[in-house]
Amino acid sequence: MDEAAVRRALGELEEVEDLGGGGQGHVWRVRQHGQDTVLKVIPGAEDAERVRREAESLRTINSPRVMAYHDTTVIEDGGQRWPAIRGEYVPGGTVADGLQRNERPTVEQALKCVRGVLEGVSAIHSHGLVHRDIKPQNVALRKGDWEQPVVLDLGLVRDLDNSITRYPEMLGTLPFMAPEQLRLERAVKRTDVFAVGALLMFILTDELPYIDSQADQGLDSDGLRRAMLARSEQPDWPRWAQLQGQLDQDVAELLALLVATEAYERPTVERSIELIDEVLAARSS
């Protein structure tokens, strides 16, 4: 897939920028008629009609905390035809970009950031969908503002009634996965709550709930999944004692709830927002 194929598919374009991608698709920023949009090409997805139906369901989500989806098209390249989804371009980079630039937010900004992410997740859930892949690369910061997050890349979103994933087709990003995903069970609404908690932990500490950066070196995806799953079954993991010097008690207690091992132990999205508001109010008093 190259710029020429994108230009052939969309017609006259003023700018085309390769934003990269992975196993779930490749993303481009395109400017046409003075407007920037993103184009996500989904290689290997031969069923363009299915992609169109899924994109239509995403278009019904109307929230400033979720990127807007516009329409679908087909990209032809090298004799192959791949479906693609066009959506809102959010300028300002992602959480991952901000952290890579060492633009660390304050604790209050981090809390407000994940609160906004939860608002986006709530909007997704209200349509009977679950995201399943909340991570730094999938949260944009509108105009670089930590307090204006936008949930991106709904490519893994699935209907809650049809979200069972079988390994090795496990979808999502392993380090941010909840224990039920590691056990290859159905993703539920509180699966996304875990990922938001993992996101907050990563922003504040560079740590993730079930990752050991030294021990995990060299592991393939199945080995990493098994290592994470084993840690999730240890009653003393995550190792909160190691975080006490980095986190205030109120934030540590909030994190413990958000990344609880079992889904039923975690608060709902709505209760999670309330808990963050309580922590923010206490810190400002």
Q: Domain ends where: 88, 118, 146?
A: 88
Phi and psi angles of residue 64, each rounded to the nearest 5 degrees, phi first: -65, -10
Q: What pLDDT does residue 228 have? A: 92
Residues 6 or more apart whose Cβ sits within 8 Å of residue 61 = 69, 123, 124, 127, 129, 154
What mean pLDDT value characterizes the chain?
A: 86
83 and 196 in a single domain? The answer is no
Q: What pLDDT does residue 41 have? A: 84
Is 90 exceeded by the pLDDT of residue 242? no
Alpha-carbon distance of 195 to 208, in angstroms, equals 10
> Measured between alpha carbons, how far is residue 282 from residues 148, 240, 279 in Å?
22, 22, 5
Residues 6 or more apart whose Cβ sits within 8 Å of residue 275 = 254, 257, 267
Q: Domain ends where: 55, 88, 121?
A: 88
* Secondary structure letter of residue 66 according to DSSP: B
Q: What pLDDT does residue 9 have? A: 81
- What is the distance of C-alpha 280 from the center of its chain? 23
How many structural domains compose the chain? 2
150 or 158, greater pLDDT: 150
54 and 79 in a single domain? The answer is yes
Residues 6 or more apart whose Cβ sits within 8 Å of residue 241 = none
43 and 170 in a single domain? The answer is no
What percent of the chain has pLDDT above 70?
A: 87
Q: Give the residue numbers spanning the domain of 12.
A: 3-88
72 and 101 in a single domain? The answer is no
The whole-model pTM stands at 0.88
Length of the chain measured in residues: 285
140 and 261 in a single domain? The answer is yes
Confidence of residue 253 (pLDDT cuts 50, 70, 90): very high
Q: Which of 34-43, 100-109, 157-166, 167-176 has the lowest mean pLDDT?
A: 157-166
* Secondary structure letter of residue 169 according to DSSP: S
Is 60 exceeded by the pLDDT of residue 164? no
Burial of 171 (0-12, 13-18, 19+ CB in 10 A): middle
- Catalytic residue IDs: 133
* Alpha-carbon Rg for the chain in angstroms: 19
**What are the tens digits of pLDDT across the range 56-103?**
777 888 899 999 988 888 887 777 788 888 889 999 999 999 999 988
| Cβ atoms of residues 176 and 228 within 8 Å | no
**What are the tens digits of pLDDT across the range 201-236?**
999 999 898 998 888 999 999 999 999 999 999 877
Is 80 exceeded by the pLDDT of residue 161? no
122 and 150 in a single domain? The answer is yes
Q: What pLDDT does residue 170 have? A: 52
Q: What pLDDT does residue 168 have? A: 38
